[in-house]
Structure 1
Amino acid sequence: MSKKTLVLGASLKPNRYSNMALRKLVNYKHQTVAFGMRVGEEAGIVIDTELQDYKDLDTVTLYLNPTRQKEYYNYIVSLKPKRVIFNPGTENPELYAVLEENNIAFEEACTLVLLSINQY
């Protein structure tokens, strides 16, 4: 079952985990959208550099450190995803509290691992 996913902090560099996750999400047939700092395309997905009002998101998978996340708190909440995945290095208790206040589920996990073990 496809879970529409936003890769927040997407990179064009193939050795970055956000890039690997984007490619793996596409390979696993999940509808994928991406936001990053540089314009480009990866695995057929255009990386947006301006915030979009993505609809019907199942998951936001984060690849921004906690300091960089602050400016996106309201944006993430406005998207009304079913869940947010905090990949290693993105753990953020402050954002956990914001998500809880807005009834958005979250988990500390690795998107790459979840996909690999069929638990995404």
Structure 2
Amino acid sequence: MGDELIEKAQELKTMIQNSAEYQKYDSCRHILKEDEELYRKVNEFRKKNFEFQTEGSAENGQADRLAEAYADVLGQKAVMEYMNAELILCRKLQEIYGLLVGDLEFDLDFLQ
């Protein structure tokens, strides 16, 4: 059964790679990477934004200030399309993950 699960997971990976959501994301990423400096700035923004979200510091307005600081970058069409495609793909992956593990029972009481 273990091998069958791995095979199905590999099939799912291929299906995701062939999905419209992933294809759009990959296309936008390739277009953005053509401008190395812009790609670097976008990743700099993404890293800082991720840190704010995971540290909880977005609550005190830092995320808004970050978006303002990167407004010239975030306002570019290639960046907007990339970030939107990434968001759509991430939401699809979250939905898939929820379906995969949503009904599985894990004992997570130790986290409380």
Give me the TM-score of the superposition, normalised by structure 2.
0.26
Q: Which has the larger radius of gyration?
A: 2
Larger strand proportion of the pair: 1
